[in-house]
Amino acid sequence: MTAYIIRRLIYTIPLVIGVSLIVWAIFDSGVLGDPAATQLGKAATPESIARLHEQLGYNDPAYVRFGNFLWKNVTLDFGRSRNYKVNIIEMIVRGMGPSLSLTVPAFAIATLIAVSLALFCAAFRGKFVDRFLLVTAIGLMSISSLVYVVIGQYLLAYKAGMFPISGYERGPGAVAFVALPILMFIALTIGPDLRFYRTAMLEEVRQDYVRTAKAKGVSANVVLFKHVLRNAMIPVLTRVVVVLPFLFTGALLLEMYFSIPGLGGMIVDGVLRDDMPVIRAITFISAILYIVANLLTDILYTIVDPRVRLA
């Protein structure tokens, strides 16, 4: 396992370089226009653009600029926000708390509920309970996310007064402000998650080893929890681990409507204000987290399923 992890970590080096090259080519090589002219805005003149080119090193050879870009990103030196004149890494650290306080518990609870209901569907496949849960999942998927947000804020927050309508408070008081967004997150994701996990469970229930275990007198609960659940963990892990990087960037829609100062709101604000350094930093970090998630997925495969061999 140690040799495999070291080998995979070595493989990630060219991946990181490749991702950095793509991000640099998109944001800093002029593909999206002259970065200096964009930064100066409408007041840009040929003289001011040339001066900024010299200050930012745009007159250096491409390999020098890419090397500087790669080194700064690896050392987490993403520069300063064009609009707020603040170090981007400080903005990211400040926004991680609100985002993770919403996405991590919401994702954990939604996954636990979806997997449990999927096992329930597998145990009663083809029966009323299974069909009812499937229809409910499809119905939840069919409703627009905006409907959930409006109903939650109007009925639960405004009318019933059970939650704050919007806002955020750092520290223990954050629980009251993220409780309703967490419920909305679960309502938005439980439908597709249940359908996916139900399909994975039913695929295993139809396998020969399940019929053999039942023929040997193994109880239904042992078959379901010891055999079916474990063998279905490959697709479950794939879906769970691949989603993990997106928890870092927050829930954009929920953060916007509930005024949570997280990374999702930071991304939206960066796009609306054309703050390219912020967008570039988030793009790079998201790509790196995705690479790490894939590495973690491969390692977890070998733990949950001994049939998977390290290569």
Bridge partner list, 80: 87
The CA distance from 212 to 193, in Å, is 29
**Model confidence band, residue 106 (pLDDT cutoffs 50, 70, 90):** very high
248 near 93, Cβ under 8 Å?
no
Comparing 99-108, 127-136, 211-220, the range with the smallest average pLDDT is 211-220
- CB count, 10 Å around CB of 59? 11
Q: Inform me whether the pLDDT recorded for 84 exceeds 60.
A: yes
Q: In this structure, what are the phi and psi dihedrals at residue 120, rounded to the nearest 5 degrees?
A: -65, -40
The CA distance from 264 to 181, in Å, is 13
Extract the tokens encoding 201: 């469970």
Range(s) for CATH 1.10.3720.10 in the chain? 90-268
In this predicted structure, what is the pLDDT of residue 31?
Answer: 60
Q: Whole-model pTM?
A: 0.81
Q: What is the CA radius of gyration of the chain?
A: 24
The CA distance from 226 to 119, in Å, is 12
Exposed, middle or buried by CB within 10 Å (0-12, 13-18, 19+), for 88? buried
Out of 1.10.3720.10, 3.30.230.10, 1.10.10.10, 1.20.120.530, which CATH number does the structure's domain 90-268 have?
1.10.3720.10
